[in-house]
Amino acid sequence: MADFLFEPHAPVSIPIARGGLFAVRRVYCVGRNYAEHIKEMGNDVRDPPFFFAKPADAVVVGGAAIPYPPQTSDFHHEVELVVAVGKDGADIAVETALDHVYGYACGLDMTRRDLQAIAKKAGRPWEMAKGFDQSAPIGTIEPASAIGHPDKGAITLSVNGSERQRGDLGDQIWSVAETIAFLSQFVTLKAGDIIMTGTPAGVGAVVRGDVIEGEIAGVGKVRTVIA
Ligand code: MN
């Protein structure tokens, strides 16, 4: 037993459909990947993708409730296709990028939109708007060996049963393969990394008591409640 000052934290893990656990190393997120959402946020569709990160322990699984976070009065939902990386690589070619995908899930990139707006205006980092505690509820991972590599299909989100977001994976500006190739030019991807691939239009605020349900056709669901 190493001489740790305190017991190291256990890895955060996401359940895999049909059994097993996917231990999370890092959580990367694509900033903008659906034209209609880019327009609703007042940005230029032609901009290349950019990335930010959340800490691994922001991941919440099993449909657990999440708290309404401090330091915001504009807490937003973003439903996203989540890519689970299963094979290490850097400078990955688009043509072989999908070989690095273990599987897929449906997830939520929860956002303190008011803090993000302040950060954008001031040219400051997004961490406190995006990478806060329990900001990434994620559903079960479906292996690509079972479901393939989805590149079309409805991605939707409802709050209290009322639909708020609807898009199609086919409307992603950057495909999963292109996203992996692009991101791996900046960082070495490792098994255990997950990539949240951006949200379609319709983002909006939630309040305490709201039930959020996301679904991606052929991939799966995610659910949480704002406690
Ligand atoms: Mn997002």
In a domain, 100, yes or no: yes
Q: Mean pLDDT over residues 90-116, rounded?
A: 98
In a domain, 6, yes or no: no
User: Ligand 1 mean position to 122 CA, how many Å?
Assistant: 20
**Separation between Cα atoms, residue 138 and residue 220, nearest integer Å:** 10
**Separation between Cα atoms, residue 160 and residue 206, nearest integer Å:** 10
Tens digits of residue pLDDT in 163-220: 999 999 999 999 999 999 999 999 999 999 999 999 999 999 999 999 999 999 999 9
User: Ligand 1 mean position to 28 CA, how many Å?
Assistant: 10
User: Ligand 1 mean position to 138 CA, how many Å?
Assistant: 13
pLDDT value at residue 41? 84
User: Ligand 1 mean position to 194 CA, how many Å?
Assistant: 13
User: Ligand 1 mean position to 141 CA, how many Å?
Assistant: 18
User: Ligand 1 mean position to 52 CA, how many Å?
Assistant: 9
pLDDT value at residue 49? 85
In a domain, 2, yes or no: no
**Mean confidence (pLDDT) of the chain:** 96
User: Looking at residue 179, which CATH number applies to its domain?
Assistant: 3.90.850.10
Q: Mean pLDDT over residues 56-81, rounded?
A: 98
pLDDT value at residue 145? 97
Tens digits of residue pLDDT in 140-166: 999 999 999 999 999 999 999 999 999
Burial status of residue 189 (CB atoms within 10 A of its CB: 0-12, 13-18, 19 or more): buried
User: Ligand 1 mean position to 27 CA, how many Å?
Assistant: 12
In a domain, 221, yes or no: yes
Asked if 191 and 209 touch (Cβ cutoff 8 Å), the reply is: no
In a domain, 72, yes or no: yes
pLDDT value at residue 44? 78
pTM of the model: 0.96
The DSSP string of 62-81 is: TT--BPPPSS-S-EEE-EEE
User: Ligand 1 mean position to 6 CA, how many Å?
Assistant: 34
Domain containing 212: what range? 13-225
How does residue 1 score in pLDDT terms, banded at 50, 70 and 90? Answer: low
In a domain, 34, yes or no: yes
Tens digits of residue pLDDT in 18-31: 899 999 999 999 98
Quote the number of domains for the chain: 1
In a domain, 77, yes or no: yes
